[in-house]
Structure 1
Amino acid sequence: MQKKTIFLAINLYYIAFTTFSQVSTDLIAVDAKATAAGLKIFPETIFKVTDRNAYDNQPAFINEKQMAFSAADDKGNHDIIIYNFESKKFTNLTKTNYRNEFSPSLTDCGLFVSTVTVEENGNQRLWLYPTNFGEPELLYDDIEPVGYYDWYDNKAAMFILGNPNSLVYPYSKGEIFTISQNVGRSVKRKPKSSIITYIDKREANDINGQISYAIMGFDIENRTYHQFGYTYPGAEDFIWLNNNLLLMGSGNQLFIRKTNSKEWESVGKIELNGYEHISRMAYSPKLRKLVLVMNRSVN
């Protein structure tokens, strides 16, 4: 990976990433099967996709065989890497000078992997990288600084850094609609729906000293709001396994909650020597693989 110039004027989001990346993280995969009723994990299948004292994070499946993620080299330069579960090989999707790429995701059309890209001058915008390794292109030139996002109808609902942070959706060039403010970093489309879900930090409960935030949804088509209960106390990263089940991690444990239930249910532990603290996650129902980001233990 080639060296990139990092300017002193770089924004708070990238500072947050570089601070977070000081904690070494790996991608841990395990076979898992989600149904409408629950999630079954197969602990005997746990394996380390990555095994480096560095930042490997933000996994996202882009097809039945491949996953994209953001990785840092020993100089702190971030690129998007593609991992093939069939061949077990890694390929650079990006290898850029003067830019750093985070938060990969497959676009609705399937032709691009989108990324939050920190540019040479510190701008932080959404870029599209063709899956055929063609030339990248900038998507929204006037919407920044982008933090996190997800897709609906070939447009991105975007977490925008500010005071407070906000979540916006560009219905058109002339209508950048603000969905909510003071949102968390998890922005996920509810499967098979037009609902973008997010963490609303304006609504919180204190449960035995741990904060639990509201999980809200905004229906892009109908412009209506929906509530999907609260996060697992002390955790902020969630994904949808299907349109009925939410998944979160706390410590080394995984928890699910049905949309019609208030209670989180433990579905097991990821016990792997030298690893702790599950954060981001990705699940492929076709591959039946669950990928977890876990911290390498300090001791």
Structure 2
Amino acid sequence: MRKFIFLACVFLAISFTSSFAQTAFDLVVVKTEGKGKNLKIVPGSERLLTDRDAYDNQPSFINEYQMVFSAADEDGNHDIIVYNFESEKFTNLTKTADRSEFSPSITECGQYIAAVVMESDGTQRIWLYPTNFGEPELLYDDIEPVGYYDWYDNKAAMFILGDPNQLVYAQSRGNILMLDENIGRSIKRRPRTDQITYLSQDGPKEFPEGSAFELRAYDMKGKNRSTLGLALPGSGDFIWLDKNTLLMGRGNQVFSRKWNENTWNEIGKISIDSHQNITRMAYSPDLDVLVLVMERINQ
């Protein structure tokens, strides 16, 4: 078992009310049973992991029992927070007044927590925060503005904000490969493959539930694109449970489908009256836990 020891700086901001002017989101934890295409949400197991009128979002598991996410403090700055499912404690990995950290994830080498950092001048680049408490390092000084990313071969595939948005891959310094453009914010490597997957915003199909975007895959070895069918109508965020199974949320429901099939199947519904609209998700097969981001309802 890999184990990271983080600074023992208690996450006091969890109890504060943020003045940051944006929609408030919380993290909801549900238990699951089964694996892959047989995964189901255990009815009645949902609970609020965070519960405050602020921004708690972008969860990502970094090992068997620890998760990182981005959270706004009482001044509206966004820090990287670690939650330990064993100790049930929150810990600040960062607490920075001059910048905000978003979209944290573990690097493939396991030595850093990466994040999209909005620097003091508004520049958005990927920074690396060592797990041994060393000074943070800038990953690519000349690639910005980065919105989202994922990893392949210890390098980043990145959503670059623009008109249109682009998906690029840092093959090497000075060799930036453009994979696609006009993409959505979800960028995920398909497990145990050479594919970077994402949603294309070109020509969505319309359904009563909303727009359905095409799921595309770029093969990093073959240097070619392919189509993996349509995403869930009315949803723009997805994760892979494994090589073969996709997961998406809409409203208070969670759906899955096999990568080569067209039908989305509901695997459970979240019954929390104070929250709605599932967006991002993170899954731990070791803990049999699904973490969902849900919007707070103004009451």
TM-score by length of 2: 0.91
In 1, Cα distance between equivalents of 2:140 and 2:256: 35
| Letter of the structure 1 residue corresponding to residue 248 of structure 2 | M
Give the superposition deviation at 1:113: 0.6
Aligned to 2:192: 192
Give the superposition deviation at 1:272: 1.3
Aligned to 2:29: 29
**What CA RMSD, in Å, does the superposition of the two structures yield over aligned residues?**
1.7
Aligned to 2:126: 126
Which 5+ residue runs of structure 1 have no aligned equivalent? 3-17
Give the superposition deviation at 1:289: 1.0
Give the superposition deviation at 1:268: 1.5
Aligned partners of 1:281 and 1:291 also within 8 Å: yes
Give the superposition deviation at 1:213: 0.5
In 1, Cα distance between equivalents of 2:276 and 2:204: 26
Q: Does 1:229 align with 2:229?
A: yes
In 2, Cα distance between equivalents of 1:200 and 1:34: 30
Between 192-201 and 31-40, report the one with greater CA deviation.
31-40
Aligned to 1:270: 270
Aligned partners of 1:34 and 1:242 also within 8 Å: no
Alignment of 1:57-68 (within 5 A): 57-68=57-68
Alignment of 1:207-286 (within 5 A): 207-208=207-208, 210-286=210-286
| Letter of the structure 2 residue corresponding to residue 293 of structure 1 | V
Aligned partners of 1:104 and 1:116 also within 8 Å: yes
Give the superposition deviation at 1:68: 0.2
Give the 4+ runs in structure 1 shifted more than 3 A: none
SS at match of 1:287: coil
Give the superposition deviation at 1:82: 0.2
Aligned to 2:51: 51
Between 225-234 and 40-49, report the one with greater CA deviation.
40-49
Q: Does 1:174 align with 2:153?
A: no
| Letter of the structure 1 residue corresponding to residue 199 of structure 2 | I
Aligned to 2:93: 93
Aligned to 1:205: 205
Which 5+ residue runs of structure 2 have no aligned equivalent? 1-10, 13-18
Aligned partners of 1:80 and 1:104 also within 8 Å: yes
In 1, Cα distance between equivalents of 2:37 and 2:62: 25
Aligned to 1:10: none
| Letter of the structure 2 residue corresponding to residue 214 of structure 1 | E
Matched residue count:
283
In 2, Cα distance between equivalents of 1:158 and 1:37: 28
In 2, Cα distance between equivalents of 1:95 and 1:133: 13
Between 157-166 and 172-181, report the one with greater CA deviation.
172-181
In 2, Cα distance between equivalents of 1:209 and 1:80: 34
Aligned partners of 1:240 and 1:246 also within 8 Å: yes
Give the superposition deviation at 1:209: 6.6
| Letter of the structure 1 residue corresponding to residue 296 of structure 2 | R
Give the superposition deviation at 1:47: 1.7
| Letter of the structure 1 residue corresponding to residue 273 of structure 2 | N
Give the superposition deviation at 1:45: 2.4
Give the superposition deviation at 1:90: 0.6
Give the superposition deviation at 1:134: 1.7
SS at match of 2:46: strand
In 1, Cα distance between equivalents of 2:177 and 2:34: 34
SS at match of 1:43: coil
TM-score by length of 1: 0.91
In 2, Cα distance between equivalents of 1:241 and 1:264: 14
In 1, Cα distance between equivalents of 2:283 and 2:134: 27
SS at match of 1:186: strand
Aligned partners of 2:77 and 2:96 also within 8 Å: no
Aligned to 1:80: 80
Give the superposition deviation at 1:23: 1.4
SS at match of 2:23: coil
SS at match of 2:28: strand
Between 166-175 and 153-162, report the one with greater CA deviation.
166-175
Aligned partners of 1:34 and 1:241 also within 8 Å: no
Give the superposition deviation at 1:283: 0.5
Give the superposition deviation at 1:132: 2.1
Aligned partners of 1:70 and 1:104 also within 8 Å: yes
| Letter of the structure 1 residue corresponding to residue 147 of structure 2 | G
In 2, Cα distance between equivalents of 1:154 and 1:34: 31
Give the superposition deviation at 1:148: 0.4
Give the superposition deviation at 1:135: 0.9
| Letter of the structure 2 residue corresponding to residue 85 of structure 1 | F
